[in-house]
């Protein structure tokens, strides 16, 4: 049984799609605008302080970082961090290249079982998030939207951001695309059990 994601280790980085490991186990990709709290979320989930931060600087060369999730020393899944998504300091041509590569991963990666989309709860969904939803809608890869930094919101603001997010994804859900939403705070550990159980649902049916 996989209890949690504490036995997760850095495996490899890929600067291009062709450098990804063989798609042998289910992958869960983490995406989110810079500063949304993605690295902190991965670290909190895996109970490690630095796991996902190593990839943050300079941020340009690495397209994807792969972390293996171990269960009794077998890799049963991979968490995949996309540090380039929404990286603000890229030039226009670099951005287009990222879009091609990132879009390529999201559209075509056969091992991809689910996407965790980290969204700053104070901002809600942004243009890049909507593009990613549209890419994933084509192949109906499930998306779990994590509204981060919930500790910064009042009770009413939490209700409002959840309602707004649901309204935005309604048409996708009606079209049969599974998209779920939760509140999250790494600081206050709000939503950890919910996030772990969503990830396990994506991994376990095919791996155990």
Binding of residue 115 to ligand GDP (CB under 6 A): no
> Closer CB to ligand GDP, residue 36 or residue 46?
36
Binds ligand GDP (CB under 6 A): choice among 113, 149, 177, 200? 149
The answer, yes or no, to whether the previous bond of 114 is cis (omega within 30 of 0) is no
Q: Which is nearer to ligand GDP, 78 or 149 (CB)?
A: 149
| 165-194: contacts with ligand GDP (CB under 6 A) | 185-187
The two tokens of residue 68 are 């293996």
Is beta strand 8-14 parallel, antiparallel or unpaired with respect to 64-71?
antiparallel
Structure tokens at 144: 């779990």
Question: Which residues within the stretch 17-46 sit at the binding site for ligand GDP (CB under 6 A)?
Answer: 32, 34-40
Q: Which of these, 164, 103, 111, 86, lies nearest to 138 by C-alpha position?
A: 103
Angle, vertex CA 188, rays to CA 183 and CA 193, nearest 5: 55
Q: Which is nearer to ligand GDP, 76 or 132 (by Cβ)?
A: 132
Radius of gyration of the chain (CA): 16
Q: Helices marked H in 68-126 — which ranges?
A: 92-108
Q: Between 8 and 148, whose beta carbon lies closer to ligand GDP? A: 148
Q: Which is closer to ligand GDP, CB of 10 or CB of 172?
A: 10
**Residue selected from 130, 152, 163, 171 as contacting ligand GDP according to rule CB under 6 A:** 152
Contact residues: ligand GDP, CB under 6 A = 32, 34-40, 148-149, 151-152, 185-187
């Amino acid at each position: 049984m996989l209890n949690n994601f504490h036995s997760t280790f850095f495996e490899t980085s890929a600067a291009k799609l062709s450098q990804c490991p063989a798609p042998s186990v289910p992958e869960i990709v983490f995406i989110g605008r810079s500063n949304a709290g993605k690295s902190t979320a991965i670290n909190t989930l895996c109970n490690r302080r630095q796991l996902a931060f190593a990839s943050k600087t300079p941020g340009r060369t690495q397209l994807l970082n792969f972390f293996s999730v171990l269960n009794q020393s077998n890799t049963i899944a991979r968490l995949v961090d996309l540090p380039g998504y929404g990286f603000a300091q890229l030039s226009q041509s670099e951005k287009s290249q990222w879009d091609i590569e990132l879009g390529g991963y999201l559209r075509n990666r056969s091992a991809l079982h689910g996407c965790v989309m980290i969204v700053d709860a104070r901002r809600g969904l942004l243009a890049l998030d909507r593009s990613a939803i549209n890419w994933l809608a084509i192949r109906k890869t499930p998306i779990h939207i994590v509204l981060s930094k919930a500790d910064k919101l009042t009770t009413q603001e939490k209700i409002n951001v959840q309602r707004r997010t649901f309204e935005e994804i309604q048409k996708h859900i009606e079209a049969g695309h599974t998209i779920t939403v939760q509140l999250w705070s790494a600081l206050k550990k709000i939503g950890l059990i919910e996030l772990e159980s969503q990830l396990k649902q994506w991994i376990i049916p095919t791996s155990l």
